[in-house]
Amino acid sequence: MKEGIDSTASSSVWNRYRAAKQTAFGIPEESEAAQTLEELEAAIAEAAASSGLPEIGLPPRAGVHTVKRRQLSRWYYLALVLLFSGLVIGLFWWGREHHNG
């Protein structure tokens, strides 16, 4: 008996969830025909025009948030060169001290 009530309640909740999602996101009903690419582009352009956004959209992310990759890679390679140079100098010094006896 309880299982019948739970399945009815969950079905009702699921139906309300689907209806709310379709309303919120403007998802077309299953009975509506699929739009062509041109129709979708026209609808997007119309929505953008009505909201005041230019049709070109937002600027590229790299333009808004500059990447410091060049600066970081420069420091990284400089650190590698310094470490390698220190290793070479240290090995020469160690060799002269311990094997020139």
The predicted-structure confidence for 18-55, as pLDDT tens digits, reads as follows: 777 777 777 655 555 677 888 878 877 777 777 766 66
Establish how many alpha carbons lie within 13 A of residue 85's alpha carbon, considering only the half-sphere containing its beta carbon.
6
- At 94, list the tokens: 């160690």
Is the pLDDT at 1 greater than 50? The verdict is no
Q: Give the whole-angstrom CA distance, residue 91 versus residue 101.
A: 16
Query: Mean of the pLDDT values across residues 75-81?
Result: 95
Is the pLDDT at 87 greater than 70? The verdict is yes
What are the sequence ranges of the domains in the chain? Answer: 1-57, 61-101
Residue-level pLDDT at 5 = 52
Residue-level pLDDT at 30 = 56
C-alpha pair distances (Å), 2 with each of 9, 13, 15, 44? 11, 16, 20, 48
| Radius of gyration, CA atoms only, the chain | 33
Residue-level pLDDT at 28 = 59
Do residues 49 and 56 make contact, with C-beta atoms less than 8 angstroms apart? no
